[in-house]
Amino acid sequence: MKFLITGASGLIGKKLLEKLLNKDVEINILTTSKNLKSNKKNIKKFYWNPEKGIIDSSSILDVNVVINLAGSPIAQLWTTKAKNSILNSRIKSVELLNKIILEKNVKIKQFLCASAIGIYKSSNNFKHHENSKQTSKSFLGYTVKKWEDSCKELSKNDIKITFLRIGLVLSNEGGFLKPIIQSIKFYMGTWFGNGKNIYSWIHIDDLVNSIIFLIENDCKGVYNLVAPNPVTSKQFTLSVSRILEKKIIIPSIPQKIVEFFAGSMSELLLFSQNVSSRKIESKGFRFKYSNLNLALKDLLK
């Protein structure tokens, strides 16, 4: 099998490559770096720049599965320029991929596109399944919807589309968990608001394994990639502090203060999304880290 992967240098992409290289596959990588040397014989690198509309169309030749993980980081200061980059980097990536698939008339078996649970409305009152109509009207919700909509053009080419609605990824290499660990180690850990907002999280290993599972089982459509047992932000912080054996000494930060200082970015700190993993489990996927303490003990050991 031959893959084309974008965003391979990111947190998820690196781990996914590591797993796929243990299988008998060929991998093409689209990279914004002009250094196209590879030290792996079954990996080839090709240059692209989605923001400028540049792509090496030969990257798609003989490819069976495309995994699109490209996108400007969400966790950056939300200036107007940054917001445009967050949105456009995702949409333009898909548009470029669609363009070369059409140009080369390649018969792609499956197109998997990273998405996010940020599409769901922030609330403690209901649990979101993949067909939830309770969507967010926030910047993140708008971005994710436009991101997913940009992929739907590919379905006209009889390509199986799989949307990966990814939760809060737990990894000690970066992402959501790392700054929490650092703050708690220096006795600066706390939670925002009343601490009752819900975190739907997933261990990096379960995330990568679930993506591979969806490929191996020809699954299409929308899938929530979150662990079965979400927790509140307060529970999350206290669980990390117990494993690190560090006390939480700073009081919680009131919601109004967060909103005053963070502005629209406060949604990154105050979101609450209780998201179901039932669909992928019904297909036969089993989580290794279904419980937060198991996940944290593995990562923080």
Q: Which two tokens stand for residue 232?
A: 């509140």
296 vs 154, residue with greater confidence: 296
Structural domains of the chain, with CATH: 2-168+201-226+274-287 (3.40.50.720)
pLDDT at 6 over 90: yes
User: Is residue 53 scored above 80 in pLDDT?
Assistant: yes
pLDDT of residue 287: 98
Judged against a pLDDT cut of 90, whether residue 183 lies above it is answered with: yes
Confidence class for position 105, pLDDT limits 50, 70, 90:
confident
Residue 123, judged by CB atoms within 10 A of its CB (0-12, 13-18, 19+), counts as: middle
CA–CA separation, 301 and 298 (whole Å) = 6
Please, are residues 36 and 47 in contact by the beta-carbon 8 Å criterion?
yes
Tally of CB atoms within 10 A around 169: 22
Q: What is the mean pLDDT of residues 1-20?
A: 96
Percent of the chain with pLDDT over 70: 100
- Can you give the pLDDT at residue 178? 92
Residue 156 has pLDDT above 80, yes or no: no
Q: C-alpha angle with apex 205: 26 to 20, nearest 5 degrees? A: 5
If one counts every other C-beta atom within 10 angstroms of the C-beta of residue 265, the result is: 18
Confidence of residue 241 (pLDDT cuts 50, 70, 90): very high
For residue 262, the model assigns a pLDDT of 82
- Provide the CA 203 distance to its chain's centre, in angstroms: 12
Radius of gyration from C-alpha coordinates of the chain: 19
Distance CA 177, CA 51 (A): 29
Q: Token digits for 187?
A: 């006795």
* pLDDT given for residue 154 in this prediction: 82
Largest CA distance in the chain: 60
The overall average pLDDT reported for the chain is 93
pTM recorded for the entire structure: 0.95
More confident residue, 159 or 287: 287
Listed in sequence order, the DSSP H helices in 105-225 are 139-151, 177-185, 204-216
Binning pLDDT at 50, 70 and 90, where does residue 263 land? Answer: confident
The residue among 122, 82, 60, 93 whose CA lies nearest residue 269 is: 122
> Does residue 286 surpass a pLDDT of 80?
yes
d(CA 167, CA 165): 7
14 pLDDT tier (thresholds 50, 70, 90): very high
The two tokens of residue 164 are 């990966």
Torsion, Cα of 84, 152, 277, 68 (10° steps): -60
Residue 297 reports pLDDT greater than 80: yes
CA 252 to CA 192: how far, in whole Å?
A: 6
Establish how many alpha carbons lie within 13 A of residue 126's alpha carbon, considering only the half-sphere containing its beta carbon: 11
φ, ψ for residue 124 (rounded to 5)?
-95, 0
**Measured distance CA(165)–CA(145) in Å, rounded:** 11
pLDDT at position 273 is: 95
Residue 97 near residue 110 (C-beta atoms within 8 A): no
In this predicted structure, the answer to whether residue 182 has a pLDDT above a threshold of 90 is: yes
In the chain, the amino acid numbered 158 is D
Q: How confident is the model at residue 76 (pLDDT cuts 50, 70, 90)?
A: confident
